[in-house]
Amino acid sequence: MEVNKEITELYLSSSSSSPIPTFTTRWWSKDTVAMVTGANKGIGFSLVNQLAQLGLTVILTARDVEKGNRAVELLKSHGLHVHFYRLDVSDPASIKTFALWFQKKFGVLDILINNAAVSFNDIYENSVDHAEIVIKTNFYGVKLLTETLLPMFRRSDSISRILNISSRLGSINKMRNPKMKEMLLNEGLSAQEIEGMVNLFLENVRDGTWKNQGWPEIWTDYAVSKLALNAYSRVLAKQYEDFGLISVNCFCPGFTQTSMTSGKGTHTAEDAAEIGARLALLPPGELPTGKFYIGFNPGVISKL
């Protein structure tokens, strides 16, 4: 089967005059605590690898204990020490257990990279048979984990950071429902409205009307989950913008060779993680909030 042409073109057509900067200022130390979700493989694993090499204290999380331990051992064989704890972001009980462990062991968090996500479609398919778990993992899970950890973020001049690994498939221009699109473009958008949108989508899935309700046409359930994540990131960034203590941004790594794309893509997970790490480690004076980064150098930077 051929790769969905529109998905491929979506990630190849981006251009901008705003490059993603390279490391210029080492503001972090071994006491800087970063965690990455869904990190036993792919982009998540490569992000952990990058951050550990740069000398941060890194927590690798995964829902499968055996796979998580195997990832830690692989990093250890390359001289890198990272911490592991089981975390299934789709399970509120797992999030609670993780947060209690994290608070006891580390106390403070500097960087949260929400990478864990699922899709059950092949590139050329668009089924919504698993829409509930896709939404639960990619949106509700990220939201609950983030809100549970917010009190633990370090308040300092270095500025704590949340980087949500997202997708351009969840861009507002993919929404064809005019009422929903208007709501998403509203500057006063709330988390409750985003949840209402997601619940409406799931209702449309259950009653079989989702195809004619104006939802995104490609990987619909995944796109709606990322649309909600992008919108929530915008709301959260705005909530903390005046305090200057937490930065919230999204990064779409593009068409990456991972298990989600059945190994197809224009670049490797390592390539994507290199950009993700650079975004997560921007110097405090250059760190924006409420931005959506797409692709590679020069990298598209737009408002969420």
Structure-token pair, residue 187: 């500057």
Amino acid of residue 202? L
Amino acid of residue 83? H
3-state SS, 220-257, equals HHHHHHHHHHHHHHHHHHHHHHCCCCEEEEEEECCCEE
Q: What is the Cα–Cα distance from 202 to 176, expressed in whole angstroms?
A: 16
Q: Are 202 and 146 in contact (CB under 8 A)?
A: no
What does the DSSP assignment read for 93-149?
HHHHHHHHHHHHHT--BSEEEE------S-TT----TTHHHHHIIIIIIHHHHHHHH
Q: What is the dihedral of CA 20, 21, 26, 28, to 10 degrees?
A: -10
Q: What is the Cα–Cα distance from 272 to 252, expressed in whole angstroms?
A: 9
Which residues carry out catalysis?
Answer: 222
Closest CA to 144 of 232, 58, 244, 41: 232
DSSP state of 277: H
Q: Would you call the peptide bond into 283 cis, given omega within 30 degrees of 0 as the criterion?
A: no
What does the DSSP assignment read for 2-67?
---HHHHHHHHS---S-PPPPP------TT-EEEESS-SSHHHHHHHHHHHHTT-EEEEEES-HHH
